[in-house]
Structure 1
Amino acid sequence: MLARTAFARVAQPNMARAAPAGARSMATLREIEMRLKSVRNIEKITKSMKVIASTKLNKAQRALQAGKEYGIANSEVFQHAPAENVGKRKLFIVISSDKGMCGGIHSSVSKATRRAFKEQDIDPASPIAVVGDKSKSQLSRVLSRNLVITFNQIGRDVPTFADAAGVADLIIKSNIEHDSISIVHNKFISALSYESTIVEVETAEALKESPGFKAYEMEEEVTKDLAEFALANALYAALVEAHACEISARRNAMDNASKNAGDMIANLQLKYNRGRQAAITNELVDIITGASAL
């Protein structure tokens, strides 16, 4: 009797610790169900963002066609009046944005800027102006001493010439020492591809010393005004092109995210069905075993 009582006292804790046979499978099914719900919600968000980006892409491409005319006008001026004996101190203007979830848009211009510092024969202390918080955070890790001025809240919608003129005006008024200007931005190739490019813009001093302008008698204010207007033109062309690349990249990124979410939902649904089938089979085995024992 005492032995039975002792055995009961020892066995009761062990029996309390033992979980039911189907408890773990039910917990797993519940986890899979919660994961399925969260992935479905993510898929809804990515699909919505893809639709929004597709709508904005048409508008951005129309603005891109108009902005290209400004860039073409600049290139014609600089082709007929090339600058000579330009110094090594170059001002880099990096064009990105404040928004993410658009692939490698921001890292491409940051890499192009770092590559230019390594490959080109320029002053290591050349200043950098950044439009957009994303590239600012990336460049601040390796070229923090070169950052002199940054801009944000530009390009939330399709950039306008007023935005470009404001950026150009602040850069000129900041009195940053430089011999030439390079604008780093993404070039729109198609709705599926883009590449980083660097556009050179001449300064007022470089235009004044170029042979094409020396052939004519002009006042000093003429080249100064032309250089300021050329910078605003080049910035506007770069901003609208970078904006089109960003919208296109976001659309592609959301499309890929939706496809990945769909694949994950299919895998989780298969796991859930298998787990549910196994749980039902175990329950049927228990019922049949109990019925056979009776």
Structure 2
Amino acid sequence: MANLRDIRDRISSVKSTQQITRAMKMVAAARLRKAQDRMTDARPYTYKIREVVKNLTERSNSDNPLFRTSENPENVLIIVLGSDRGLCGGFNTNLFRIVENKIHDHFSGHMKNGNLSMICFGKKAYDYFRTRKYPVIDHKIGFFDQLKYENVTDVMNGIIAEFKEGTYDEVYLAYNEFKSVIAQNRRFEFILPITYETDKVTVPEFPSIFEKKVKNKEVTDKPESESKKTGLKPDVDYLYEPDPDTILDYILPLYVNVQLWQASLESYAAEQGARMTAMDSATENAGDIISDLQLKYNQARQAAITTEISEIVSGAEALSE
């Protein structure tokens, strides 16, 4: 059995760790409150701009390059949103495993041919994929410390320009969507080229590269009865100034930027929730360890006292004889 000094040192060490985890939990809880407010405030705008793009697309025959699809996409870009710091449970590893599975299942040929590229947001994402020899062409460390819309547009506008030039045929986005403080949804979404489904406003989670939805240019001729079957609202006449095509040319880059902005807000809030949960669990575990060590300390102390008493009694008996 360990001596009393060793046990006391361990108890002191665990108590120090417990203070750190408790403080980190409180910091994460404070950040989570602000992150949740920003995320929930942005959601209505994000959902509405999706609806606006969908309605405009139905009424337009625009040939905007952001609609450009390829039957055999060669160059693929994957954007991964991780975190800069650890101690947040499975927040990063669970998402990274899903990204790896998607790459192995759908893009293994692209990776072998050198046609797969990755951009990693957060130090953990960059370190994970770089050390595993994935083709990381760019990384953003400290991005979430200064989470601003301007920083998102700087990144996304460059990607949009490269997509228009044909550098990439498809762009995907992987991130953790905030579900609750203790749970996140891992998302792997198809963001470029822009597609939509006639019965949904939201972007599909992950359409297969062989079964992608393409822009339907004949939706405007759909009869009202068919719209009712699909659950769409009846067609409504709008006045456009100057015209739907011009409005689309302006709003589509904004739409893509908003997708990355909302994903960044979701990811940051999910990170704080995961860290708060992990640190709360660590604090409780430290308390359990301290209780066990305290019990061992008391047992060792009792054994030491018993041994001393036995030695004193034995010595007294020896002297009396």
Q: Do these two structures clear the TM 0.5 threshold for a shared fold by scoring above it?
A: yes
- Correspondence for 1:20: none
Equivalenced residues, count: 263
Give the RMSD, CA atoms, in angstroms. 2.9
Classify 1:110/1:176 alpha carbon distance in 2 versus 1 (closer, same or farther; 3 Å): farther
TM-score, length of structure 2 as denominator length: 0.73
Please give the residue correspondences for 1:78-227 in structure 2 after superposition, counting only pairs within 5 Å: 79-80=54-55, 81=57, 83=67, 85-86=69-70, 87-88=72-73, 89-120=75-106, 123-124=110-111, 125-144=115-134, 146-156=135-145, 159-172=147-160, 177-203=167-193, 210-212=215-217, 218=245, 225-227=250-252
What's the CA shift string for 1:136-188, capped at 9, x where partnerless? 111123352x211111111125x221221122134346678211221110011
Q: Deviations over 1:222-244 (max 9, x none)?
A: 66654432221111100000001
Amino acid at match of 1:53: A
Identify unmatched segments of 5+ residues in structure 1. 1-24
**Alpha-carbon distance in structure 2 between the residues aligned to 1:203 and 1:226:** 14
Cα pair 2:69 2:169 within 8 Å, conserved:
no
SS in 2 for 1:99: coil
Which residue of structure 2 lines up, in the alignment, with residue 21 of structure 1?
A: none
> Which has the larger share of helix?
1
Once the two structures are TM-superposed, the CA of residue 67 in structure 1 deviates from its matched residue by 2.5
CA distance, structure 1, for counterparts of residue 152 and residue 244 of structure 2: 30
Residues 120 and 153 of structure 1: CA distance in aligned 2, closer, same or farther (over 3 Å): same
Equivalent AA in structure 2 for residue 151 of structure 1: K
* Structure (1 or 2) with the larger CA radius of gyration: 1
Q: Distance in 2 between matches of 1:42 and 1:288?
A: 43
Pairing 1:244–2:269 present: yes
**Once the two structures are aligned, what percentage of the paired residues are identical?**
27
Give, in whole Å, the separation in 2 of the partners of 1:111 and 1:77: 34
Write the distance in 2 (CA, Å) between the matches of 1:176 and 1:42: 52
SS of the aligned residue for 1:197 comes to strand
Select which of 249, 257, 263 maps to 2:282.
Answer: 257
Q: Distance between the aligned counterparts of 2:122 and 2:11, measured in 1? A: 36
SS of equivalent to 1:91:
strand
Structure-1 separation of matches of 2:252 and 2:316: 94
Instruction: Flag the 1:170–1:217 CA change in 2: closer, same or farther, 3 A.
Output: closer
